[in-house]
Structure 1
Amino acid sequence: MLTASQHADQLTILEVGAEVEREARSLLFHSYSQEPAYQYLLNAEKTGYEQRVRAVIRETINLHFSEQQPVLALYKENRVIGFAFILTPLVTADLYNHFRWRWRMILTAGFSATERFLDYRKQVESILPKQPLHRLAFIAVHPQQQHQGYGLQFMTSIHDYCAKDKTSAGIVLDTGNPRYVTFFEKMGYQRLGNVHVGDITEHVFFRPVTQHETA
């Protein structure tokens, strides 16, 4: 389903299904394996770090699709260059509380990494407003396609998509990567609080739905 109009530079955003899972897992791995929070939570200094990152991404994506949560893909001409995994307000509990996810994570990523990850998610949840919200679980743009304004266009389309749900008060996300903080603030996100992940400060952001988007 087309969820955003085609842009002048031949960008298109489509809502996609599980057929893109392999591409999504590859792109998200290259993005999130470099994230400071993931490196701490999943013990990057220990053998098997890449396998643990792949496990988090694989199990979360599998659960995301099984719960029929929306996924938007960013296409440049006919090639996918970005993904956004969105949790809707109807998902009242964080996906990471799902028993299947926990069990699969323990088996594939290990008990220690799973406990660290769950504690981190619990702290993030404690900061979020008690309102119906969309949550941006994953977002990534291909490294070779960054710094060209595509991320800005992608986020704008994500906001428009989420605003169609009149029950939602806005979108929440979190990041510990300093180069993304200014970007999200320019997009209208407000800091709700911080979560400390080792020596890393993870910022929790909220962007309310605007009148323009709901019109």
Structure 2
Amino acid sequence: MLTASQHADELVILEVGAETEREARSLLFHSYSQEPAYQYLLNAEKTGYEQRVRAVIRETVNLHFAEQQPVLALYKANRVIGFAFILTPSMTADLYNHFRWRWRMILTAGFSATERFLDYRQQVEAILPKQPLHRLAFIAIHPQQQHQGYGLEFMNSIHSYCAKDKNSVGVVLDTGNPRYIAFFERIGYQSLGSVHVGDIIENVFFRPISSHKTA
């Protein structure tokens, strides 16, 4: 499903299926393994950190596709350079509340990491509006393709995609990376609050569906 027209720089955004799972997992790993929140939640100082990150991404992505939740891919010259995993309002809670996710995570990432992750997600959920909304579960752009305006293009298409659902009040996401806060605020996101992930402050943002701000 085409969700954005092709541009002069050959950017195309498509809704994709499980056939892209392996490629998505690889790109997400390179992005999220560097995130401060993940480094705390999954005990980066202990042996096996990369395996634990891969486990979180593998189990979450696998369940995301199994639940038939939308995934958008950003293509440049026929090469995938970004992915966005979106949870629709029909998903009334995080995938992390799913028993299958919890069980698989305990087996692959360990009890301690799983408990930390669940506590963090429960704190985020407590902040969210009790209304139908979209959650941006994962978003990543290939490191070599960043800082070229593609993130703004991608986010605009994500907002347009979510706006098709007339029941949704907006899009929510969270980040503990200070590099992204100004960007999200610039494109219309408002702070709902924050949670503490160890010494890291994870900011929870909301963008009303009716807002169409761009940079």
TM-score range, shorter chain: over 0.9
Could you say if the C-alpha distance between residues 27 and 178 of structure 1 is closer, same or farther in structure 2, counting changes exceeding 3 Å? same
Q: Which residue of 2 aligns with 1:120?
A: 120
1:84 and 1:102 mapped to 2: Cα distance?
Answer: 22
Q: Which residue of 1 aligns with 2:21?
A: 21
2:117 and 2:7 mapped to 1: Cα distance?
Answer: 37
Q: Give 1:104 shift.
A: 0.1
Matched ranges for 1:81-92 at <5 A: 81-92=81-92
Could you say if the C-alpha distance between residues 6 and 59 of structure 1 is closer, same or farther in structure 2, counting changes exceeding 3 Å? same
2:98 and 2:114 mapped to 1: Cα distance?
Answer: 13
Q: Give 1:136 shift.
A: 0.1
Contact 2:191/2:205 (8 A) holds in 1: yes
In the alignment, structure 1 residue 34 sits paired with structure 2 residue 34: yes
2:6 and 2:150 mapped to 1: Cα distance?
Answer: 12
Letter aligned with residue 202 of structure 2: E
Q: Give 1:12 shift.
A: 0.2
Q: Give 1:212 shift.
A: 5.6
Secondary structure of the structure 2 residue equivalent to 1:47: coil
Give the gaps of 5 or more residues in structure 1.
none
2:179 and 2:120 mapped to 1: Cα distance?
Answer: 21
% identical aligned pairs: 86
Q: Structure 1: which 4+ aligned runs deviate by more than 3 Å?
A: none
Q: Which residue of 2 aligns with 1:76?
A: 76
Secondary structure of the structure 1 residue equivalent to 2:112: helix
Q: Which residue of 2 aligns with 1:173?
A: 173
Q: Give 1:38 shift.
A: 0.1
Q: Which residue of 2 aligns with 1:210?
A: 210
Matched ranges for 1:85-164 at <5 A: 85-164=85-164
1:21 and 1:136 mapped to 2: Cα distance?
Answer: 17
Q: Give 1:6 shift.
A: 1.3
1:118 and 1:34 mapped to 2: Cα distance?
Answer: 20
Q: Give 1:3 shift.
A: 1.0
RMSD: 1.0
| TM superposition score normalised by structure 1 | 0.98
Q: Which residue of 2 aligns with 1:53?
A: 53
Contact 2:188/2:211 (8 A) holds in 1: no
Could you say if the C-alpha distance between residues 45 and 211 of structure 1 is closer, same or farther in structure 2, counting changes exceeding 3 Å? closer
In the alignment, structure 1 residue 11 sits paired with structure 2 residue 7: no
Deviation string for 1:5-48 (max 9, x for gaps)? 11221100000000000100000000000000000000000000
Q: Which residue of 2 aligns with 1:188?
A: 188
Letter aligned with residue 130 of structure 2: K
Secondary structure of the structure 1 residue equivalent to 2:160: helix
Q: Give 1:209 shift.
A: 1.0
Q: Give 1:211 shift.
A: 6.1
1:159 and 1:211 mapped to 2: Cα distance?
Answer: 9
1:103 and 1:210 mapped to 2: Cα distance?
Answer: 38
